[in-house]
């Protein structure tokens, strides 16, 4: 098997089959995350997916890096008055929402740091508490998901358009409104997980399921929990044994990790599938809503979009999964477990969605930092 074929067949390019030269698969010494320039192919992908010029794409990526770095500092500065934050692609700035309780000094500190300040009625703590109350309700299958929208100042609940008037949906919405401010959004179809039956030549298999590799960690890789149960054996794109699921959680969460051995090793890279160059992973800083994000998966390969919402509960047929991130990126069966990355920062692993990459849709991912914390793993970075 040629080196080129081996590299392209490994899902998300995070595992390379033994027998290849390490010098041929590992990148040279990397620059620091703050200095690393965007690759030419990533800029090309940004231009294509967002309709930007090269200079606009460069400016946006630079602004997103700054916003991602500023976001946790802004939360700390705003304190109890913090109402949420998101990246505004029109101004290329982080917007930080605060309540009337924020002092003039706090507002000025946020502006001096480069943020746009917006006054809202509800704090993030209040809205998150309202969402937690909604989480405790039993949602019918036609209620697909819900999340806090700080800009709208409410919990946004997605329902299937054709079922919105059904009695069980209306009863749920009535109970949700008692929990706090609610906005109803109608969608075309329900969300589903994105595992698939086995297809020859794709990256990893467990039982009769095909999924995608997420990110390398020391000793293995992370992926979606619905792809396999603890101790289940995992086989690579060439049907050779890779390792076993060491931990898995689904529903409620949707994460898992697999150990590697038998001639496989980990590489801090996400496969670009020829659409863009393979992307180095340098960290896992959380990208705020509004920032660009891309996904790599074994079925639909590389696609980009924007972060739409954090901490969303998704009501799959198997049960609700909490604290997912919602994106405008498309995905298809077999993409489950694959990598979501923003710039060079790992974001999470593909959980599920609706639609496809021909007509469009939305996809959710399980945030990477929760997986690392849960299993005591260390992300493999360049």
pLDDT on residue 265: 84
Give 36's pLDDT tier (boundaries 50, 70, 90): low
136-146, pLDDT tens digit by residue?
999 999 999 99
Structure tokens belonging to residue 126: 């209040």
209-263, pLDDT tens digit by residue?
999 999 999 999 999 999 999 999 999 888 889 999 999 999 999 999 999 887 8
Give 203's pLDDT tier (boundaries 50, 70, 90): confident
In this structure, is residue 180 part of a structural domain?
yes
320-347, pLDDT tens digit by residue?
999 999 999 999 999 999 999 999 999 9
Same domain, yes or no: 248 and 360 = yes
Which of 176, 192, 208 is the last residue in one of the domains?
192
pLDDT on residue 16: 30
pLDDT on residue 18: 26
Average pLDDT over the chain, rounded to an integer: 88
Same domain, yes or no: 309 and 336 = yes
Same domain, yes or no: 214 and 362 = yes
Q: The domain spanning residue 298 has which CATH number?
A: 2.40.10.10
The secondary structure of 176-237 as a DSSP string is HHHHS-EEEEEESS--EE--EE--TT-SEEETTEEE----EETTEEEE-GGG--TT-EEE-T
Same domain, yes or no: 244 and 365 = yes
Average pLDDT over residues 41-68: 91
In this structure, is residue 8 part of a structural domain?
no
Torsions phi, psi for 66 (to 5 deg):
-65, -40
Which of the residues 147, 226, 301, 380 is marked catalytic? 226
pLDDT on residue 237: 82
Average pLDDT over residues 267-277: 85
Average pLDDT over residues 299-305: 94
Average pLDDT over residues 200-216: 83
117-136, pLDDT tens digit by residue?
999 999 999 999 999 999 99
**What is the CB neighbour count within 10 angstroms for residue 40?**
11
In this structure, is residue 311 part of a structural domain?
yes
Residue 306 has pLDDT above 70, yes or no: yes
Q: Is 135 a catalytic residue?
A: no
Whether 357 and 329 have beta carbons less than 8 Å apart is answered as no
In this structure, is residue 30 part of a structural domain?
no
Same domain, yes or no: 248 and 262 = yes
Which of the residues 142, 336, 342, 351 is marked catalytic? 336
Same domain, yes or no: 251 and 331 = yes
Average pLDDT over residues 83-94: 97
Residue 1 has pLDDT above 60, yes or no: no
**Percent of the chain predicted with pLDDT > 90:** 76
Give 196's pLDDT tier (boundaries 50, 70, 90): low
Domain encompassing residue 323: 193-375
Three-state DSSP class for 112? helix
Give 195's pLDDT tier (boundaries 50, 70, 90): low
Q: The domain spanning residue 187 has which CATH number?
A: 3.30.300
pLDDT on residue 210: 93
Whether 145 and 177 have beta carbons less than 8 Å apart is answered as no
Residue 71 has pLDDT above 70, yes or no: yes
Residue 60 has pLDDT above 50, yes or no: yes
Q: Is 226 a catalytic residue?
A: yes
Q: Is 212 a catalytic residue?
A: no
Same domain, yes or no: 265 and 141 = no
Same domain, yes or no: 186 and 221 = no
Which of 163, 192, 221 is the last residue in one of the domains?
192
Which of the residues 71, 149, 254, 278 is marked catalytic? 254
Number of domains in the chain: 2
User: 66's torsion region: left (phi>0), alpha (psi -120 to 50) or beta?
Assistant: alpha
Average pLDDT over residues 165-182: 97
Same domain, yes or no: 231 and 187 = no
Same domain, yes or no: 268 and 319 = yes
Same domain, yes or no: 181 and 307 = no
Average pLDDT over residues 290-314: 96
In this structure, is residue 225 part of a structural domain?
yes
Whether 260 and 18 have beta carbons less than 8 Å apart is answered as no
Give 168's pLDDT tier (boundaries 50, 70, 90): very high
Same domain, yes or no: 226 and 369 = yes
Which of 160, 175, 192 is the last residue in one of the domains?
192
């Amino acid at each position: 098997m040629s080196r080129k074929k081996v590299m392209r067949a490994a899902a998300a390019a995070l595992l390379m089959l033994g027998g290849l030269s390490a010098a041929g698969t590992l990148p040279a010494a990397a620059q620091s995350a703050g200095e690393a320039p965007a690759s030419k192919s990533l800029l090309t992908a940004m231009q294509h997916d967002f309709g930007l010029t090269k200079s606009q794409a460069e400016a946006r990526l630079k602004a997103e890096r700054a916003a991602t770095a500023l976001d946790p500092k802004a939360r700390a500065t705003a304190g109890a008055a913090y109402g949420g934050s998101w990246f505004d692609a029109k101004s290329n700035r982080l917007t930080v929402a605060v309540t009337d309780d924020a002092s003039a000094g706090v507002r000025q500190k946020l502006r001096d740091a480069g943020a746009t300040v917006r006054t809202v009625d509800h704090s993030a703590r209040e809205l998150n508490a309202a969402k937690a109350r909604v989480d405790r309700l039993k949602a019918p299958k036609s209620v697909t998901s819900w999340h806090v929208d700080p800009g709208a100042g409410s919990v946004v609940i997605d329902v299937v358009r054709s079922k919105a008037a059904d009695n069980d949906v209306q009863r749920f919405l009535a109970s949700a409104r008692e929990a706090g401010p609610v906005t109803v959004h109608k969608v075309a179809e329900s969300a589903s997980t994105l595992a698939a039956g086995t297809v020859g030549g794709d990256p990893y298999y467990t039982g009769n399921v095909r999924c995608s590799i997420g990110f390398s960690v020391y000793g293995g890789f992370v992926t979606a929990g619905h792809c396999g149960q603890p101790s289940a054996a995992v086989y690579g794109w060439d049907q050779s044994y890779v390792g076993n699921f060491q931990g898995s959680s689904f529903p409620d969460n949707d994460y898992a990790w697999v150990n590697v051995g038998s001639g496989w090793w980990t590489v801090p890279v996400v496969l670009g599938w020829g659409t863009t160059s393979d992307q180095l992973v340098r960290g896992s800083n959380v990208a705020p809503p509004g920032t660009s994000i891309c996904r790599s998966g074994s079925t639909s390969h590389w696609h980009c979009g924007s972060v739409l919402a954090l901490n969303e509960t998704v009501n799959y047929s198997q049960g609700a999964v909490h604290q997912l991130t919602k994106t405008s990126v498309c995905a298809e069966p077999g993409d489950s477990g694959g990598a979501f990355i923003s710039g060079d920062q790992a974001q999470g692993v593909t959980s599920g969605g609706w639609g496809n990459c021909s007509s469009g849709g939305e996809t959710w991912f399980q945030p990477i930092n929760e997986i690392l914390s849960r299993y005591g793993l260390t992300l493999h970075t360049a």
